[in-house]
Amino acid sequence: MFRNSYDSDNTTFSPQGKLHQVEYALEAVKQGSAAIGLRSKTHARSTGELATYQKKLIRIDDHVGVAIAGLTSDARVLSNSMRQQAMSEKMLYGRPIPVARIVQGISDKAQMNTQQYGRRPYGVGFLVIGQDETGPHLFEFSPAGTAFEYYAHSIGARSQSAKTYLEKNFESFENGR
Amino acid sequence: MNHHPAAWGRPLPASASFDMYNPQFSAPKAAPAHQMPVAHTQQPLVTGTSVLGIKFDGGVMLAADNLASYGSLARFKDIERLHPLGPHTVIAAAGDMSDFQWLKKELNAILREEQALSLTDSHPSLSPSNIYDFLANLFYARRSKMNPVWNAVLVGGWDRVKAETFLGYVDLLGTTYSAPTLATGFGAHIAQPLLREAFEAKAGTDGKGPLMTQQEATAVLDDCMKVLFYRDARSMNKYQIATVTKDGVVISDSKSSETQWGFAEDLRGYGAQTQ
């Protein structure tokens, strides 16, 4: 990344069509220690083992949890918002919130911060795992406001080696442990 | 609406209500200057009378007549008080009909939103018990604000996930109740004993025996609606029955009961005789 005149304003595109502030926020995620997640037909698991003293896993509800990589304060605010939304939906409808919807909730929230003057993007990425009526799920949430579903994924520092291993072996996770 | 300059050009997103640090939601609302609590308790104006509900083997049936009264005036005589929600749920409402119309609009909007979300995540639609929990929360919240939704509602449906029937009652006080037979208003006094008698004839007093057949359930509902027409001064002899099974919702055409009024001939002041 080069420092240039397009990177201090969240609401200014660069001539290459990039939002530099969002790119830098993604860097903050890459600087956090690694978090890995994977799922089979029946289970979803995540872990953050290289961060010895930093709590990486946050329980959102009985059926949803997140592994964080990046700014822990931003992680706290977003996970609190997820907890409130999960609790509200459980009370209102008597059923646990579908995982895709709670992820969509924070994605919309994070995207707003990339399109308003004076606000900065969240500096944390999540691997959201959960189980609902449609089975186990693994999502990656990023400060850009995107959320994609994966069979296996990893984020954070030195996550590439994990990604390479997962790419080779994820098909065996489907039915096994 | 928030007209403060700091909020200009910022429409409120759906996630804002979960935002702990947004002063619009976290700051306590200023108390009104006159110190009296704000109360909107209403009186119902155009009303529907009893609604009945019964479980049978493989489904649920709800019955309601087609009358919306204006006090003692039988004002609107072709109102449908049974409303399907999604493929496997029916609600039926007694009480204020304008509140029922509002309820229908709200519930249709929620279901439509769920359907739209399901396009992306293929999540199953709201089950009858989910809709019921939502209604129970709504009714209790409104009563707690002293602004009730002036209805008594029966929710009946088929839960596809659990493969079982659902029947629940919720009213303007936020009271919830679930049983194999349910009735609101006058029906609770007159029809409920008849419904329970028919139910317990097959299922026993502990309710553990077999359920009625669909024909038996129709027969007992027809009988109850006839008795209610005889005895409820705010009823009409034209009603519909909604049936929900795993195959979906069917709302019958309006039907009427055969009634005997010949006894009135012998009463002074009624019939053809003069005093």
Task: Say whether A134 and B124 touch across the interface (CB within 8 A).
Answer: yes
Residue A4, in any domain of the structure: no
Which positions in chain B touch A81 (Cβ < 8 Å)? 15, 18-20
Determine, yes or no, domain membership for A27.
Answer: yes
Any domain includes A14: no
Residue A138 lies in a domain: yes
Q: Which residues of B are catalytic?
A: 41
- Does A36 or B92 have the greater pLDDT score? B92
Model-level pTM? 0.85
Residue B26, pLDDT score: 60
Interface contact flag, A84 B120, Cβ < 8 Å:
no
CB contact under 8 A, B123 and A133: yes
CATH classification at residue A48: 3.60.20.10
Is A32 within a domain? yes
Point out the least confidently predicted range of B11-20, B36-45, B94-103, B108-117. Answer: B11-20
- Position A9 pLDDT exceeds 90: no
Residue A120 belongs to some domain of the structure: yes
Q: Which of B18, B21, B123 sits opposite A85 (nearest CB)?
A: B18
Q: Is residue A5 part of a domain?
A: no
How many domains is chain A partitioned into structurally? 1
Both structure tokens of B93: 């409402």
| Lowest mean pLDDT segment, chosen from A17-26, A49-58, A110-119, B236-245 | A49-58
Contacts of B13 in chain A (CB under 8 A): 108-109, 112
Spell out the domains of chain B, with CATH numbers in brackets: 48-256 (3.60.20.10)
B204 has pLDDT over 80: yes
CB pairs < 8 Å spanning A and B = 58
Residue B11 has pLDDT above 90, yes or no: no
Contact B18 A100 (CB under 8 A): no
pLDDT at B222: 97
Cα(B184)–Cα(B192) distance, integer angstroms: 9
Nearest residue in B to A137, CA atom: B121
Q: Inter-chain contact A109–B10, Cβ cutoff 8 Å? A: no
Does residue A128 surpass a pLDDT of 90?
yes
B15, B129, B137, best to mutate vs chain A, most A CBs in 10 Å: B15
Q: What is the ipTM of this complex?
A: 0.83
pLDDT number for residue B248: 95
> By residue range, what is the domain housing residue A61?
20-174
| Residue A6 resides in a domain | no
